[in-house]
Amino acid sequence: MKIHRVTDPAFRPYGKVMEGYDFTELLDKLREVSDKPANRTLYVPSDAALEELPIMQELRDRAYGGMPIQIGYCNGNNYVLNCLEYHRDSEINVAADDAILVLGLMKDVIDGEYDTNKVEAFLVPAGMGVEVYATSLHYAPCTTEGSDGFRVIVVLPRGTNTEMPEITPQCLEDQWLFARNKWLLAHPEAPEATRGAYVGLKGPNPDVRN
């Protein structure tokens, strides 16, 4: 799989590099308070130690225009896509280690199916933050070659990725709702498919090592 950098023009449909923020203290605290699992990923939607830092207010007011937010993280090791998700808003990722984002576009979901041959991979260098647009399909970061894994800050509107609301599906998209503010399309090989996620990814399950 070809891996672009997020500074490459190819990233522009999916998001942008965050400018005017100093993430040093945030990433130092992430390294202090979180683990990096060797054989899996660990996702925490909201971490109090991270949210106590001054960057919390700055991201809330500047990046999200005053909307309530949460700061969590996704750490560990991962090489395959498995799923693609989206939210009704942008997600901010800040990399403590080099990490790879595998992304798609919502416009390419046709009748509940997405062709995984369309995804593109992007390297986020350690220390850099990016905004991933609401129209971008994404999931857990992937590990770079020769790395022992990744730690990545995840900023979202408060409540995202927590307990799913109870709804009676009225349309196809309703079937994709997998958690609060989280619509998910799973690959048939993904563990999420066995937990009731909507299977909507068609084609190979991309692996960043290939």
Q: Tens place of pLDDT for every residue, the chain, 210 residues?
A: 999 999 999 999 999 999 999 999 999 999 999 999 999 999 999 999 999 999 999 999 999 999 999 999 999 999 999 999 999 999 999 999 999 999 999 999 999 999 999 999 999 999 999 999 999 999 999 999 999 999 999 999 999 999 999 999 999 999 999 999 999 999 999 999 999 999 999 999 999 999
Which CATH architecture describes the domain 3-158?
Answer: Sandwich (2.60)
Largest CA distance in the chain: 46
pTM of the model: 0.97
DSSP state of 198: -
Q: Judge residue 169's burial from the number of C-beta atoms within 10 Å of its C-beta, 0-12 exposed, 13-18 middle, 19 or more buried.
A: exposed
* Residue pointed to by tokens 């750490």: 75
